[in-house]
Amino acid sequence: MSLLFLFLFSAMSKVSFRARQIDFNKPLPILKHGSELFLEISENALVNRGVPQIPSGMEKEEENEHHFLEVIQALQLRTDSDVKIPVPEIIDKENDYKRVYPDSFSLPKQLLHIRTIVFSEEETIEYDMDSEDEEWFQKSDLGITPEKFESMIDRLERGCGQKVMNLEEAKYLLQDHPSLVIAVYDYWLNKRVQSRQPLLYAVRQERRDGGSNTDPYVAFRRRSEKMQTRKNRKSDEQSYERMLILREQMDSLGFENVYSNAFS
């Protein structure tokens, strides 16, 4: 660290002048031995005439730190004072390193194996409880798990579709205790009526009868199966079909034999 300070000190105290062309209209100063200017330069005074200072590599707050200024001042005055910049204490943690990273480690013979849980389509529950569901679930105290509640709401959503089912259909679908089914059904019905939309979001598809062609929420539509002709041709699809019909009619009238006899 002391070598760095010596380098910075020598760079800062070096007498340097900016390269400047000589002006013949201005007199040049003559440096004489014993003059004031000569004594200032000989005492390593800082002479700065437009030369940019070498960056110290530190921030402005660090350059103004009093420990750093004391060391620079001691180097400039060339005193033998025991001035040092305080540094954080270095603590040897060799024992802790061996405790955390023991030498007895050995590579395993095989990689880690993870068993993926395969869910069937019937067991997959797409409905997820929100904050409103959690608040009602805690107040109701139904005696079931949150997963059971999500499964019941999911079955109701899948079973009704776009139309709301009645209570008898819900009892037949859930096949559970009547009081539990009634409580969950009433909550599900009120929430669906307030939201005015299904609680499970699904991708809308185009109907085969063409009823949803004007629905802007249909993301995927079928490609129209039409005969595509080359763009550089002037004939479009309709004219091309007319030419095919005309060719069939001419072949049916026997023009093919006339052409063959004419060019033979």
pLDDT in tens, the chain (264 residues): 444 444 444 444 444 555 667 777 888 777 777 777 777 766 555 455 555 566 667 777 777 777 778 877 777 777 666 777 778 888 777 777 878 888 887 887 877 777 665 555 556 788 888 888 888 988 888 888 888 888 888 888 888 866 778 888 888 888 888 888 888 888 888 888 888 888 887 777 777 766 556 777 777 777 766 666 665 555 577 888 888 999 888 888 876 555 555 555
Q: What are the respective helix, strand and coil percentages of the chain, to the nearest 5?
A: 45, 0, 55
Rg of the chain taking only CA atoms, in angstroms: 46
Residue by residue, DSSP assigns 161-210 as TTSPP-HHHHHHHH-S-HHHHHHHHHHHHHHHHHHTS-SS----B--TTS
In a domain, residue 219? The reply is yes
Do 125 and 216 reside in the same domain of the chain? Answer: yes
- Do residues 132 and 205 share a domain? yes
Q: What is the pLDDT of residue 164?
A: 76
Distance CA(134)–CA(116), nearest Å, equals 29
Tell me how far apart the alpha carbons of residues 150 and 160 are, in angstroms, rounded to a whole number.
16
Yes or no: say if 252 and 241 are a contact pair by the CB < 8 Å rule.
no
**Could you tell me which residues are beta bridge partners of residue 21?**
none
Report if residue 90 sits inside a domain. Answer: no
What phi-psi label fits residue 95: left (phi over 0), alpha (psi between -120 and 50 degrees) or beta?
alpha
d(CA 171, CA 181): 6
Tell me the three state secondary structure of residue 96. Answer: helix
* Domain co-membership, 210 together with 141: yes
Confirm whether 111 is domain-assigned.
no
Domain extent at residue 61: 2-77
Size of the chain, expressed as the number of residues it contains = 264
12 and 65 both lie in a single domain: yes
The answer as to whether 189 is a domain residue is yes
> Do 124 and 73 fall into the same domain?
no
Residue 169 is predicted with a pLDDT of 84
* Burial per residue of 210-232, b for 16 or more beta-carbon CB atoms within 10 angstroms, e otherwise: eeeeeeeeeeeeeeeeeeeeeee
Domain co-membership, 128 together with 71: no
State residue 9's pLDDT score.
Answer: 45
84 assigned to some structural domain: no
Q: In this structure, is residue 36 part of a structural domain?
A: yes
Amino acid at residue number 55: P
Q: Give me the pLDDT at residue 160, please.
A: 80
Contacts of 6 by beta carbon, 8 Å cutoff, 6+ apart = 75
Which of 77, 99, 127 is a domain's end point?
77
User: Residue 257: inside a domain, yes or no?
Assistant: no
pLDDT score for 70: 80
Q: Can you give the pLDDT at residue 28?
A: 79
Residues 68 and 126 in one domain: no
Neighbours of 187 (CB within 10 A): 19
213 assigned to some structural domain: yes
Burial state string for 44-79 with b = 16 or more CB within 10 A and e = fewer than 16? eeeeeeeeeeeeeeeeeeeeeeeeeeebbebbeeee
What is the structure's pLDDT at 6? Answer: 43
Give, as one character, the DSSP assignment of residue 143: S
The total number of structural domains in the chain stands at 2
**Alpha carbons 6 and 37: distance in angstroms, whole number:** 25
